[in-house]
Structure 1
């Protein structure tokens, strides 16, 4: 069976309830929650817990922050990616997954990642100034993907046992008197991808293309398309060789069984021929 390296870490159900719609003065607050994601070279695991990651009693003007720590538990330096679906879920998905333009000034958001002490902004809704061109561009990219392809944003390379943090910061409009959009913000898609980094001295020229840049988000973040799976095979230096997860043992066994079958057929005809000659 093909091994999926682009694991859905979670389909995050964010219950943000108790939004106060009454007009009165209040102090804006920041509520933060998070969880950990680890990659072991074969797949992802997470300690995500819906009870611990649920934020309630959010008020206009508040800021909600989700921090996802990702760690490379494999033995090799690995490139990590964040799916562009997280932007789509913040822009245009209802809680039931149906399409809707939900930002509309009701909230702004920023997606960034922290690596080696540096903060790198992937997407800032305030930077695009309400221009929906970026979202349309991402939709066109996703609409043009072939089977087995996924659109991702790079969140850096991690050496073995190194870690980084993806930060999703959502700031609610302080003047909003409508909490309908909170229902539409109930599902946030956070998916990671990982690809083993190949050392330059080990790269073998290969016509297979495993990733290509298809879009640039305002601010400079590049959206790349990765074929699934895109991790080179273990114990090989060929860049782009897909890790299918299929074992060669079944192939060897089938070949041996076929050979034995042919030998049995040949033996049967040979014995039959000898018996006929003896009878004659």
Structure 2
């Protein structure tokens, strides 16, 4: 039998493996029932010749016989078609199990989505490398979802993953948006602190000492600046990298922070 997709099913994750939204037996009953109901409906549309008034003179009264629906139920060729449909549905479900197994690689994404708590996610402190790691992971997951085929024909089934894609992608986009907000706040805090540090050092070193004691204090500040120069440059580099990352992930930099970044550079 040349099967055509007549049943649309959605994929979803189960505790073990993936499952289809419609059970095989339900599909068998539905297709067989609809086939019979539609055929009976069509047959009943045709006029019954013998009961027509023109034949009343031949029979005296309308002839009686079995109801057409009863005849169809016992019609062997039709029963063979119903059996073939059931077999085709069974094979389609077996083949669909192999198709569903290919989506198992998304289980890590599903686990993240199932346990995602936005409040806890936002409350976690992150370093620059952790921001970079999380953004990269979310981007990879979203790319994997976008690369999936929205549906696949398997015998009489059309196996679709659109609902699964939507569910996973919505949460991943929410996590990415929260991460952009966190990075924006962290970048603002870091550029403000770094500028204040540079401003304080500039103020200390710009004063010319007049007395010997003042010169000693000035020299100590100068030595501290030289010794901490590498650390300050490291903080500056991290701050600039944060704003570069904001640009990469498409986050909007507040104007006041853009000005502060220019001053820092």
TM-score (norm 2): 0.28
Greater strand share, structure number: 1
Larger radius of gyration: 2
Structure with greater helix share of residues = 2
Give the structure-1-normalised TM-score.
0.27
